[in-house]
Amino acid sequence: MPTPDQLYDQAVELRDAGDKPGAIAKLDEAIAIDPKFVIGHGMLAKLYSDIAESDKAIAHAKKVVELEPDDTFSYTALSVIYQRCGKIAEAEHAKALAFNREHGLD
């Protein structure tokens, strides 16, 4: 059985070959094995955003923030996903959270 890291590598290859649904399937396998596989959730957020599945993109981006609450980039990525999904107010809020974390204002 492949590890989450191996499945992630396979997903990258599929994504790079233009097979986003195949990449999503590999990442779904990876997070089924390890639900805390943060890099998998991050790529799923981006891929779902790319194929206009906003609710799934946002859910995975939120999961990254949940798993890495002290990582400023997690909030920045969430902001970008919200923006790409047309949720500007939510994007601004996530951006503010990123700024506050980066500057120790939370």
Would you list the domain boundaries of the chain?
A: 4-102
Return the axis-axis angle of helices 38-50 and 54-67, rounded to nearest 10°: 160
Q: Could you tell me which CATH class the domain 4-102 is placed in?
A: mainly alpha
CA distance 68 to 78: 12
Model confidence, pTM: 0.92
Alpha helix stretches (DSSP H) within 1-106? 4-16, 20-33, 38-50, 54-67, 72-84, 88-102
Q: And the tokens for 6?
A: 């191996």
* pLDDT, tens only, 51-103: 999 999 999 999 999 999 989 999 999 999 999 999 999 999 999 998 888 88
